[in-house]
Amino acid sequence: MLIELDRVTRLYGIVIGVNDICLSLPTGAHGLLGPNGAGKTTLLNLITGQLKPTIGSIRVLGSRPGNDPELLRRIGYLPGNEGMYADVSAIEWVTYLTRIQGYSAREADRLARQALERVKLTEHMHRKISTYSRGMRQRARLAQAIAHEPEFLILDEPFNGLDPIARHAMTTMLRQWIAEDRSLLVSSHVLHEIESLTHSFLLISGGRLLASGSTEEMGSLLTAVPAEIRLRLDDPRGLAAELIRERLAESVRVVSEDELLLTTASSLELGQHLVQEAAAGRYQIREMRAADDSLQEVFSSLMKIHRGQA
């Protein structure tokens, strides 16, 4: 197992950072999603051993994080905030951190160069970090996380502040990392960034784990949630009445003479019913647009459930 959390709670005084999280993640790539202030960084700090859980236990790669040198050798971490030394070059910084990782000066230099080449920073690696753009600094930060070739890379908001080109470059690098069969846990509050990397997600909000699994698994959680469906057909009023009568719709709204907007908590049954009606020729359905089934919708719906809005 990559990560095992057993009823983990972390309190900061009376403030709850992470609340009663139980989780088992296999090796592989996973996305940690949640809005700002959701508890993502606290969770990553717990996983990297910088914080200890107030209640519960954590195992990462089979070991308890926190002062475990063996585990720290196997982990690479890109923190959410920059915290780089402005007065040194990327090669000096990455070599230094790799040396603290336990490598000799020569080996650390080789690994640092290799990592900087991997993030495409070789050309600028002798320049002071203070002269770097945001994207270059982010690449240097990624280099320090991967230089010692960890098994498990943990990234906290790696796309923050990057322009589209830098985002694309970061995505490409991380895809390459995943393709090498290495594990990755990447946090973000922007879904499509994660969606382009992995289909295994953890959704966290208010310190609680709302859901985990693949996009489909998360989608299946939403079957009981009223979904919005837009239909274009010849007789919206007739269908609206029928759906209410059959209790297949929670609400209906005739938008125009050929358009119906409805919400339903029985998407599957509604779908089957509409197919039958269309096949029988009772309605000419020209267009049926279900609510967006992308991860964004899953995310929004789960957040609504969490907030008690759905």
Partner 1 sequence: MNALGRVPAVFAFEWRRALTFPRLAWLVALAALPPVLLGVVRSAAGSDPPLEIAAILVYVLAPCLACMMSVFLGAAPAISAELEGRSWVYLAVRPHGPLAVLLGKYLVAVSWALPVGLIGAIGGSLVLMREVSWRLITVQCGLVVLSCVAYAAAFLLIGVIAPKRAMVLGVMYAIFFEVGASLVPAAINLLTIQYRLRCLLVRGMEIDVSRLERNPILRSYLGEEPAIWHVSLLLLMAVGFVTVAGLLLRYREFAAAPETEG
Q: Closer to partner 1 at the Cβ: 12 or 287?
A: 12
Pick from 50, 48, 141, 134: which is nearest to 93 by CA? Answer: 141
Nearest-approach distance from CB 104 to partner 1, in angstroms: 9
Applying CB under 8 A, which of residues 1, 12, 117, 176 lies at the interface with partner 1? 12
Please work out the total of residues on this chain that contact partner 1, with binding judged by CB under 8 A: 46
Applying CB under 8 A, which of residues 7, 102, 130, 284 lies at the interface with partner 1? 102
Q: Per CB under 8 A, does 72 bind partner 1? A: yes
What are the angstrom distances between the C-alpha of 163 and each of 167, 170, 193? Answer: 6, 10, 12
Q: At what angle do helices 105-118 and 134-146 cross, to 10 degrees?
A: 130
Residue in the block written with tokens 């005739």: 254
Q: Per CB under 8 A, does 101 bind partner 1? A: yes
Q: Quick one: 108 exposed, middle or buried, by C-beta within 10 A (0-12, 13-18, 19+)?
A: buried
Region near partner 1 per CB under 8 A, out of 84-92, 112-120, 274-282, 286-294: 84-92
Residue in the block written with tokens 């269309």: 278
Query: For residue 270, what is the DSSP state?
Result: H
Tokens representing 105 are 């000066």
Q: Per CB under 8 A, does 63 bind partner 1? A: no
> What is the footprint of partner 1 within residues 144-173 (CB under 8 A)?
144, 156-157
Q: Closer to partner 1 at the Cβ: 105 or 255?
A: 105
Q: Per CB under 8 A, does 41 bind partner 1? A: yes
Q: Per CB under 8 A, does 200 bind partner 1? A: no
Q: Which DSSP string corresponds to 180-218?
A: TT-EEEEEES-HHHHHTT-SEEEEEETTEEEEEEEHHHH
Nearest-approach distance from CB 307 to partner 1, in angstroms: 18
> What is the footprint of partner 1 within residues 256-285 (CB under 8 A)?
none
Applying CB under 8 A, which of residues 21, 51, 121, 140 lies at the interface with partner 1? 51
Applying CB under 8 A, which of residues 19, 45, 183, 200 lies at the interface with partner 1? 45
Q: Per CB under 8 A, does 208 bind partner 1? A: no
In sequence order, the 6+-apart residues with CB closer than 8 A to the CB of 240 are 249, 252, 254, 260, 262
**β-bridge mates for residue 221, sequence order:** none
Applying CB under 8 A, which of residues 20, 54, 99, 118 lies at the interface with partner 1? 99
